[in-house]
């Protein structure tokens, strides 16, 4: 049931911006199933907590009865991939995705389904300019008839192009839900495997726990906001306690680490720490 509290959780907590916010709220209130799009680069087989921020938002919407479409970007990947690599990485992705999203309400699609006509030119080594990549990614929204697309704030342009293409194709433009970029364990840059400042979804519980304990104190609240279901009121109390120095940050990090490990590895793992 869509209550004010649920709507707040979806549209406010862990959200940087919603493009088409009034329409987004209206369509949620209508109660009809929406198609929720999120794309992933299959260049690497692993995902990390930075990806989980958006995946959690998808799960929240799934719990209201909406359908998720995860798109494997086998055409806009950062490097050329063989079909075997795409299949292998996609299989690994699904195992990790389903630690967060509901597989019963998730559909997996690949860009090659609708870009196959370019295959001979692309595989033959003919260049596709960087300018075309946002357009190719945006066309995914047309191909799957997305109602809502979720992405990081660094993907805003691509999501907006998707809206424009849908209008040109006579479709209802998608709403764009932008989530903040999670700061990595270095405390400076966004979480990224290439920067080595990530916490992997499939890392063993003790490694995840240790990495969470290593984050800077000023990231504790944002991690609670973006990666846990701890109630807003309790998170606010934590924020105030940190500001007033009435709580040891290590105590809150232990709670945070237990919440994250429990989410990805099960409640039994949470109890071990």
Domain ranges of the chain: 4-179, 205-270
pLDDT tens digits along 74-126: 877 767 777 788 788 888 888 999 999 999 999 999 888 888 765 555 555 55
Tokens 């929240």 locate to 60
| pLDDT over 50 (residue 207) | yes
- Looking at residue 22, what is its pLDDT? 92
Band the pLDDT of 243: cuts 50, 70, 90. Answer: very high
Residue among 136, 166, 172 nearest 39 (CA): 136
Residues 6+ apart with CB under 8 A from 87: none
- Note the CATH architecture for domain 4-179: 3-Layer(aba) Sandwich (3.40)
**133 vs 84 pLDDT, higher one:** 84
How far is Cα 213 from Cα 252, in angstroms, rounded to an integer?
Answer: 9
Q: And the tokens for 263?
A: 């989410």
Residue among 38, 74, 78, 34 nearest 179 (CA): 38
| pLDDT over 80 (residue 1) | no
How far is Cα 32 from Cα 105, in angstroms, rounded to an integer?
Answer: 14
Tokens 């199933």 locate to 33
- Note the CATH architecture for domain 205-270: Orthogonal Bundle (1.10)
- Looking at residue 268, what is its pLDDT? 47
pLDDT tens digits along 21-48: 999 999 998 989 999 999 988 777 788 9
Band the pLDDT of 237: cuts 50, 70, 90. Answer: very high
- Looking at residue 126, what is its pLDDT? 52
- Looking at residue 51, what is its pLDDT? 94
pLDDT tens digits along 46-73: 889 999 999 999 999 999 999 999 998 8
pLDDT tens digits along 140-179: 999 999 999 999 999 999 999 999 999 999 999 999 999 9
| pLDDT over 80 (residue 202) | yes
Helix axes 249-265, 232-244, angle to 10 degrees: 150
| pLDDT over 70 (residue 272) | no
Would you say 92 and 45 are in contact if contact means Cβ atoms under 8 Å apart?
yes
3-state secondary structure 18-73: EECHHHHHHHHHHCCCCEEEEEECCCCCCCEHHHHHHHHHHHHHHCCCCEEEEEEC
Taking residues 239-256, report their average pLDDT. Answer: 97
What average pLDDT is seen over the chain? 89
- How many other C-beta atoms can be found within 10 angstroms of the C-beta atom of residue 1? 5
- How many other C-beta atoms can be found within 10 angstroms of the C-beta atom of residue 58? 26
Residue 101 C-alpha from the chain's centroid? 10
Q: And the tokens for 211?
A: 């990495």
Taking residues 136-140, report their average pLDDT. Answer: 89
Q: What is the pTM of this model?
A: 0.89
How far is Cα 111 from Cα 69, in angstroms, rounded to an integer?
Answer: 12
């Amino acid at each position: 049931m869509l209550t004010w509290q649920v709507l707040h959780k979806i549209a406010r907590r862990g959200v940087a911006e919603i493009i088409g916010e009034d329409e987004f709220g209206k369509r949620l209130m209508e109660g009809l199933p929406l198609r929720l799009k999120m794309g992933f680069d299959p260049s690497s087989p692993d995902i990390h907590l930075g990806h989980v921020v958006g995946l959690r938002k998808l799960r929240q919407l799934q719990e209201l009865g909406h359908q998720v479409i995860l798109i494997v970007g086998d055409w806009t990947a950062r490097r050329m991939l063989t079909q075997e690599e795409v299949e292998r990485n996609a299989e690994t992705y699904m195992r990790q995705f389903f630690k967060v999203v509901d597989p019963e309400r998730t559909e997996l699609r690949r860009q090659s389904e609708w870009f196959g006509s370019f295959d001979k030119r692309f595989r033959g080594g003919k260049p596709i300019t960087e300018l075309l990549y946002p357009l190719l990614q945006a066309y995914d929204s047309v191909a799957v008839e997305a109602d809502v697309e979720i992405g990081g704030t660094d993907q805003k342009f691509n999501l907006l192009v998707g809206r424009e293409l849908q209008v040109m194709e006579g479709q209802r433009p998608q709403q764009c839900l932008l989530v903040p970029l999670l700061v990595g364990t270095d405390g400076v840059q966004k979480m990224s495997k290439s920067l080595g400042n990530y916490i992997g979804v499939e890392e063993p519980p003790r490694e995840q726990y240790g990495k969470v304990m290593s984050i800077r104190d000023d990231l504790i609240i944002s991690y609670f906001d973006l990666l846990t279901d701890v109630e807003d009121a309790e998170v606010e109390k934590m924020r105030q306690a940190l500001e007033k120095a009435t709580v040891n940050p290590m105590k809150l990090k232990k709670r945070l680490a237990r919440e994250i490990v429990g989410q990805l590895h099960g409640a039994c793992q949470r109890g071990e720490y």
